[in-house]
Structure 1
């Protein structure tokens, strides 16, 4: 019986799988043919009622491109076509790897299964080195080894593509020690103009054994480019190779086993693209590779990836077309019990220690660079409503501390006394505070609208991913709150490609504010200079050098935030001059170079008290300046078809693992999902 319980308790980085666009199809049943869905008329005690599981990705066959170096990211879906890197526990953030056993009492003939992942383990040798060990059973779809040599070739192309061929002091710090061992290291000062970068064990540990990242392309693609880059004699030749690389699309026909180009340049997961006949305008069907180690874990023979985002994706959810998806089923928000068919139910729910959202601000906007304006906007918005309207009252909770960390990290890092002293911005709209802060910024109201000291109407742009109804509805609440208060907001929804490009520092940061995910396993990953568009750090990148890493000699980072700021000596200090601007002169404050501070956190040899003082400095900076606003964290959930599939109990360990964000790909690619042999299920409560 397919029953589910109610709610219970570039290189290696940067690949993201989020749901696509298009018109809404008419759902079709999925029987023994290639349609997908229920086939109860032919089911027996031994035969599953369906042989296909359906999911949605934010892409389309016309633009899909596994090549991660193109100007726009069209890779979405690649993670469903590749091996799981590893497994991260959603409760503890601990990682595990190939050979992990999972109890599966929901399977009639398997009490437990063993999940194969691409990485099988790692070693760390401070202060420079770490080693990843790969499972020697890993294969590309064409049978070639998916090994350390392939990873090195892929990452070496990435090194050259990022412009490091003739960069003084730049070295490619990795190599395949043997076929299945990949060795990486921090800069060791091995060439002139390169300073050694000894690094704390905890930082090296976070680099080792990644459970997420861009799956390496087949060496047939990467090796020729690597050799061309190696042979390039000057910058013009490098630019020519780069131009060729970024335009070299790896489309689905260059991956398929038959019916395409026969190159098979990518793909390694348990479900493979057997034929171009399985590629359609609505979906692509991947078929179980019986030679894959995880194939013996499952009776699901096909994985259908629907091309869908936004309204189309939500329609697929509401009509029961998708068999598994990420999210909590709540009384409000994007996905509610009333919008779903009875057989689509929540499997499990948990508080996500590393998952939330932040209102990301770009200080290049003339209003957002003003301290009192940022404070006023935060006070004017009802963050309880933003969280509830977007994610549902039962699916998220507002943060209780303003440190830039999520609450679990705040409470495990800082003393209760320190947290109690910090300023806490209002979670419900406080117009009295907001009005006072705007007046202190030098703004006034004319005709019900706020204007700046020069009489110009105050407004900002706000963007959101169209593929995330929660983000859209949360952003619409921000717009409504600010508009009703008299502050202009130009709200725009964007598809994945346009949105990710708009916040990419390499593309110029074409946004004022946006809704962005927030959360990391380690404190130093929050308090970090991180210009990468896919991960927001306390400090951005360098506008004069590497857009992904800040320079302590720069005046500002890529978001226009000053590198050197006066930080109050006492936690919770709040007073600042009127019209404070970017860099106010403060009483009882110390001048802090933020890049030097976050870099010091990552250095080896810090005493516990020294490390705490660095953390406290970062927290006091964020608490005073609110460069962005981390406003809530998730009560995560997963839901899907309990009629045609059997799932574990809500508190089962099988629900504890994810690759990057959401447990769904582990459920499917790990073989935890089980097609049912009947269509009985308990009605929703």
Structure 2
């Protein structure tokens, strides 16, 4: 099995792995949300009307050193290693040196500064999330100097092209975590304990083996009791095999992480551009059946706010949520029919036909990932049975992303964001044109002279008229107009709970009334592990709050010792 540990390569992960947990065991994520590992600290300042600054520091006294494939250690881990990655990215993306470059304050401190005023909290999380020390300074010195010396865009492009093509194999891989890569084969990756690592005395085992296989093979290995831990909840990862898995293999540290799966809708399709057609589609989709087919997407959503359940409840509050229109997450044929008829549609020969005489035709694009394809087929069948003429096209991953980048879909499933910025977003740089991360802020359309005439490439406007009464479904009463762009500018340049709540309420009201997209599910993140042979932290431990990578963090830092009795 060929591996490439070049973090700048477009495809630096081996495609046959069920997941990439072992790839990260040699390094560490600097942030998951605002949580950092015990040897990393940060401080954020500014924000609001002032561009925020983020200062990241590492514990000099710990004495972390880089190891190589032979187990030799020696060179200290310093902040210049992280700075190397950040300055390469900065110079590659800014050949003219515009913007604020990362600043190496000293060997153990790095400072980052936003280019414009924005919220300090989302800036900090966006920078910390997923950041890793994966670039030993000496290993990338030539490329870094090449970019620093480049004076033209073509010279920069030449250097970045060579960076992306560079191959770093197993024998050249470097890391600093307690376990290093020892052996790689087509069926497993073996890592061994670095005996002089500062955390080595936390472990009562000296070897980790990551078995490689696809979904069905992983399920069979779990059934045969060959696995000790893994990512995600058992329900989502191995739902169809739970009844056969030994009882001591259990989900641990499960929590609602705020992630959602949505149907992203393209309003340029004239049928989806009609409000009551979108509402009818929501009412006829039986999300419970989708969940029962493949639980990978999570359980049926609780609210139609555009935000995940935790954020909806924590920011908006139950009193506000109870006022919103309560869409059905199980099939409601009567309600769906009423919405279609209100939109001027009639049923002709089993197909809904619009007021212009055209049948309700929708191109439904989906990935061939097994759970996605299965759930896509269920939704497609439900819509067809109701009278939509859907055309389900299932693509391989590369083809699917190309279709999305080109906005060549009427409807497609995708991840949804977590907070108020995810309720409605016109960021046209992401695959679906929607905000898909809990941590980063979307890019708003810039320099729009006539926002009232603007529509995104998905046919969605910037300005909305909504009823003053929360939860109302028509505009016959008092209304108010919301300029999404102005609200976005205000929110991203302010801070505080009240500003967040006010913005979230407006975004939730737009989403609940217009359904720019359809929330389908709320995701429960977690991990699973062998509870008979390992002592896992308490369920309430913050160690689990790292998405679906809680167990690899726990293992990596020695928080789950093997039981000795």
Give the match for residue 120 of structure 1: 41
In the TM superposition, residue 330 of structure 1 has moved relative to its aligned partner by: 5.5
Is the 1:463–1:511 Cα contact (8 Å) retained in structure 2? no
Q: CA deviation at 1:621?
A: 1.3
**Could you tell me which residue of structure 2 aligns to residue 310 of structure 1?**
215
Unmatched runs of 5 consecutive residues or more in structure 1: 1-60, 99-116, 188-196, 541-546, 577-585, 679-685
Residue in 2 aligned with 1:390?
294
Q: CA deviation at 1:653?
A: 4.9
**Using the alignment, how far apart are the partners of 1:184 and 1:332 within structure 2?**
37
| Structure 2 unpaired stretches of 5+ | 449-453
| SS of corresponding position for 2:302 | coil
The whole-number CA distance in structure 2 between the counterparts of 1:659 and 1:153 is 25
Report if the CA contact (8 A) 1:86-1:659 is conserved.
no
SS at 1:571's partner residue? coil
1:246 aligns with one of 156, 160, 164: 164
Q: Matches of 2:37 and 2:550 in 1, distance apart?
A: 15
How far apart, in 1, do the equivalents of 2:466 and 2:219 lie?
45
Question: What is the aligned-residue RMSD (CA, Å)?
Answer: 3.8
What secondary structure is seen at the aligned counterpart in 1 of 2:67? Answer: coil
Instruction: From the superposition, tell whether residues 371 and 525 of structure 1 become closer, same or farther in structure 2 (CA, over 3 Å).
Output: closer
In the alignment, is residue 597 of structure 1 matched against residue 479 of structure 2?
Answer: no
Structure 2 residue aligned with 1:206: 125
Q: Which of 324, 329, 343 lines up with 1:422 in the alignment?
A: 324
Specify the alignment match of 1:628 in structure 2.
Answer: 517
1:290-338 Cα distance to aligned partner (Å, 9 max, x none): 2333332222322223333333333333333332123445699824432
Matched, 1:82 2:26: yes
Q: Is the 8 A contact 1:86 1:96 kept in 2?
A: yes
SS in 1 for 2:279: helix
Structure 1 Cα separation of the partners of residues 148 and 541 of structure 2:
46
The aligned residue for residue 225 of structure 1 is 143
Distance in 1 between residues matched to 2:12 and 2:31, nearest whole Å: 28
Q: Match for residue 451 of structure 2?
A: none
User: Contact 2:266–2:410 at 8 Å: present in 1 too?
Assistant: yes
Q: Could you say if the C-alpha distance between residues 348 and 525 of structure 1 is closer, same or farther in structure 2, counting changes exceeding 3 Å? A: same
CA shift, 1:235, in A, is 2.6
Partner of residue 304 from structure 2, selected from 362, 377, 402: 402
What CA distance in whole angstroms lies between the structure 1 residues aligned with 2:349 and 2:368? 33
Structure-2 separation of matches of 1:68 and 1:77: 18
Q: How many residues align?
A: 541
Higher relative contact order, structure no. (Cα contacts within 8 Å, ≥ 6 residues apart): 1
Cα separation, 2, equivalents of 1:603 and 1:483: 45
1:391-410 CA-to-partner distances (Å, cap 9, x unmatched) read: 29xx9543332221222322
2:85 corresponds, among 151, 154, 157, to: 154
Q: Equivalent residue of 2:528, what SS?
A: strand
Matches of 2:550 and 2:535 in 1, distance apart? 13
Q: Normalised by the size of structure 2, how large is the TM-score? A: 0.82
Of 174, 187, 190, 2:102 maps to 174
Q: Check conservation: 1:357, 1:515, Cα contact below 8 A.
A: yes
1:184 Cα deviation from its structure 2 partner: 1.0
Q: Judge conservation of contact 1:539–1:557 (CA < 8 Å) in 2.
A: no
Q: C-alpha separation between the residues in 2 aligned to 1:534 and 1:217?
A: 28
Other-structure match for 2:369: 466
Shift in Å at residue 77 of structure 1?
Answer: 4.8
* Aligned residues of 1:372 and 1:441 also touching (Cα < 8 A): yes
Structure 1 residue 561 corresponds to structure 2 residue 449:
no
**C-alpha displacement at 1:429, in angstroms?**
1.0
**Is the CA contact (8 Å cut-off) linking 2:416 and 2:422 kept in structure 1?**
no
Aligned to 2:322, the other structure's residue is in SS state helix
Contact 2:264 2:432 in 1 (8 A): no
Cα distance per residue 1:621-661 (max 9 Å; x no partner)? 11122122223323444333345x22337x45557434343
SS in 2 for 1:647: coil
CA drift at 1:530: 5.2
1:241-283 deviations in Å (ceiling 9; x for gaps): 3333333343xx2xx3xxx3xx43x533322223xxx221222
Distance 1:560 1:223 in 2: 46
Contact in 2 for aligned 1:82/1:215 (Cα 8 Å): no
Moved more, 308-317 or 70-79: 70-79
Q: Does 1:549 align with 2:480?
A: no
In structure 2, the partner of 1:352 is 256
Given the superposition, is the C-alpha separation of residues 594 and 314 from structure 1 closer, same or farther in structure 2, using an over 3 Å criterion?
farther
